[in-house]
A and B are shown apart, each in its own frame.
Chain A
């Protein structure tokens, strides 16, 4: 099991419980609004926070959150809201790339297991089983041990660490679709293997990947920032959330906001991804 498989499972159960709800709930609306904010901050950070994230102003160092500096200022007087907003792009890019790597590998492994017959399935499954004996962060640490710390390695590490989860979900989905009654019905109608694959199996397997990807980005952001926090990912001058939090740790006794707000953004991103993933799940299936 992986966090992702549990998340995906919970989404499915929640959907089964609320069969059709067209209305957008308050939580979904909030999640959507924050997602829009994140996207805006990622593509045009100066739109959200016009200041310079690196502008030093020693006179206004360590200001608590106030009307001018919503999230306060850090040890060099840099505005934390500006820094957090400008860090969005970096964090999201790492999260998205890591998810892409994990999902890509997962698709390859899962499809191999699901489509290429028993022997391949058995082998891939054993391989995945072994990977699950490495808890996620340990697998990531192993990758970093081999390739050395840094943003790229951290991204790849998170991608690799999440791949087994994706692979297993995709395999299960493929197998359940492949043996579904509507696939048999198509066989009885005289459709060929290819036609069935293209018309029924692939679309029904791929649709849930949107949900998985959404859930996955949230997780990947958390993991990547964990690596940065541990000093193995992005290094402190960069305005990446994990790195900012790590740098702010020194001052938590006197200026809690340095570490608090970057972390809050990580949490909100993860919650948003979960809520949106579940909302997407509900709507995709009941379209």
Chain B
């Protein structure tokens, strides 16, 4: 019996090559994209799972009030916190601190690099985190000062094929240099805190309360320890024993290591994190695509089955019981779905590199290493096959054999209406998906152009280290000899990054009133080069001594409740300084456009530049860049010259933070194409069913145009009904999307939905036009004879 089923299945497949191909291809594409998203999903969920007992590792976060009243949580703590906690609480098995410097120059002989991934830490780091030592000291490679542990890639970069162990690296932060004590494997891509080099903290550093900045504290709890219970003890401990934290009103809490990647968007940190909202959006749209693909599969399957009603009748007459037929047809559907699987795997391999590029790289997507994903994909495939087969199987097998055999062409009305329902659902779903995609594109476009209170145009940005502070005046003078260069500035930050958060208060108020404020240190010309407008007072200038000056935003002035801020003094508690307000800047939005706008201050600190900004008249050309490079190499030969354009970097960062949305667009378009394929199949099926009607109409004088209209209008109606049904859902989803995620919101208006409707109509028309014209152009005699 089984071989009989297989033969019939195979011969039908061959007989209906086009349908079978479209059906298998559609499902394969859907499954391939689903596999991509699933492996991407699992990759994102797998962050830091490679450590030993990762669920026992926690980050200590600090939380305190900020000027605008909101509690602000950061991933940074003070260096001594790790030791204090591990000594006090027996639940903590081990603790480590990690400081990350922003940028350092490290060299070996003539090889010199900016290192952005150096972690300063203690010997516990390699005990808590799992980075296997592949060469050198396997026990305690960080136990001595100035020891450096390199990743394999970093070791290769400096030493090529030489043995790196025992070699001395020069570094701008260490007068005695760094001795390479060990080499570890490269950080897996699913790490929140990647590094190229780990360097031992200087001795005694662990007791230094003065160093907050970018210090992370990680704890590894004892097996079975309750993190919540432990956290609840922190408060009284800090109150009694840690006056520094108590006075700053800082509360410590624990954050699971495994949650950092996806759930710490609101925590100020330098970790490799992803917006879980975007991440779930992608998963949602992939599921949407899967539903569209499954509907498509069902539509095509039911079309195929209707042509087989006669076979059902004959089989029944020959003695087949209903269950035999149900089994046969469900089996065929499942087999067809299974055929899509190898093709889906091939497509997955094919589009994987493009997908990885679209999500910004640094992603490892491997289905074969992911048995759970493999199982889900197989289950989904079987499910689609089963569900697609179930209705036609039960429907067809319910016919009285007499009615099927006597009427050569079965009516198949039930299947046709089912198909219409399926097509309406499919188009309604794609309408919602396309509308959401257009909305997100509009939102992105709006965010890339929105005015944030400063200007980024024509600014060449060159990263540097503090060494530049001594050379800046000379560099500025040299660069200004070129008339194309309008202005040169020293900057501590890029204007679209998290700033520092510093505790500050108005002079005359107690330390209790100190609040955390985003603060941006800068050098000369920073405010002017970004064209930040002053509402009152002045910007920093060489004409004044601004070493003790500060500029606050209008928002900050409002929060400080200052009607007339100029001349008032602000105490910067973390720095132990008092600064005078010399200007109030019109509101500017410095954290990236996707983050919320907060009150901010800019203070003058020319000794610590991380960037030099060079503003040109008009877009910078190659000659200007070469000029800047030549001057840079002349003035600061010890600093590598590397540059980018500020605006490009802004757009790049926007793209990076919203890169998942490109995947969203891609999936929506695929969905629309597959929905159109389903419509194409339905149109062919209907044209076939109506061959006789078309023949009669033509014999009675209908023109090809009349017939084309007849066929097209029916389908356009289906699509319009689908669009109307989808409209309220699309509207509410759009409102929801705009409101949950963004600070700057694009407006949800009717044009969005009109474009979406136009899109679905064009897709539908292109799918059915060919078939309609083909049927309409046929000779009526052929149509009548056919019947």
Whether chains A and B associate is no
**Chain A residues within 8 Å of B, Cβ to Cβ:** none
